[in-house]
Amino acid sequence: MLTDVDYPSVVQCFAMRARRYGSVNKTIKIPSDPKSDEEIVEAYEKAITNKTKVLVVTHINNFTGQILPVSKISRMAHKYDVEVISDSAHAFAHVDFKIPELECDYLGTSLHKWLGAPLGTGLLYMKKEKIGKVWPLYGDDTYDENDIRKFSHVGTLPCHDYLAIEDAINFHQKIGGKLKEERLRFLSTYWMDKLRDEKNIKIYSPSDSQRYGAIGNVGVTGIDSAELVEILYEKYGIFTTTKKTGIIVTPHLYNTMEELDTFVAAMKEIAS
């Protein structure tokens, strides 16, 4: 089971599996601005049947920045003997959590996004009892079938990338996960609050600040998102990306309040 906001590469992986093995992928729509976690859990639960094997849960999606209650979804799914894969690519080192707290069966994340490690680095987590039944992508008889290191056989590795992960972790820990999450959320809330009630401007991210972090989605009425991205870059020197209905704005720790004020002023001028 997938949702309408899962990452395209993840969706393509399951599409390939369906073509190869005949499995069936079901895509559901989840509330974009829920009043409670239970609304989201219920959306998944209603779609579960006796044929459902696994849920894909995008911890933080890159369309609206919504944070999903992974632990609550996992507990619900396990009542039906359904496994949970958490796509935490945008959540790791972004919001403060410990992986076992999510209660998911599998988790994957990139490390180059919010941890700031080199491109191409990532992390795979599985519950110990799940490792033995999953085949590695490449053949490896070095490790026991219940040893997660069997998944590390991917050829010659860029050792400098992996050596840099430790420095990225140290930097993250010096800041503190909770403090970093609060700062990132503050930056997003700052610009969203200044634009939320503006005429011709639409915020597509959740209204509750606890349901997003640093990722926000905003649009201008009558202007295509791709055109808006181009205007912001060419006229104001502001880099954003386009996603479905709006553009994605992702301030990081190094962004200043003056830069956010520049963005807010640009959006107001464009929308006027």
Domains, the chain: 2-167 (3.40.640.10), 177-271 (3.90.1150.10)
Whole-prediction pTM value? Answer: 0.94
Output DSSP code: residue 170.
H
Rounded to the nearest angstrom, the gap between the alpha carbon of residue 16 and the centroid of all alpha carbons in its chain is 21
Find residue 201's DSSP bridge partners: 220
Q: Choose among 74, 43, 94, 85: nearest CA to 213.
A: 94
Which residues have a Cβ under 8 Å from the Cβ of 42 and sit 6 or more positions away? none
Q: Whole-angstrom Cα distance, residue 82 to residue 57?
A: 12
Q: Answer positive or negative: Cα dihedral of 185, 6, 74, 134.
A: negative
Strands 241-243 and 216-220, bridge-based pairing = unpaired
pLDDT in tens, the chain (272 residues): 999 999 999 999 999 999 999 999 999 999 999 999 999 999 999 999 999 999 999 999 999 999 999 999 999 999 999 999 999 999 999 999 999 999 999 999 999 999 999 998 999 999 999 999 999 988 888 899 999 999 988 788 889 999 999 999 999 999 999 999 999 999 999 999 999 999 999 999 999 999 999 999 999 999 999 999 999 999 999 999 998 789 999 999 999 999 999 999 999 999 99
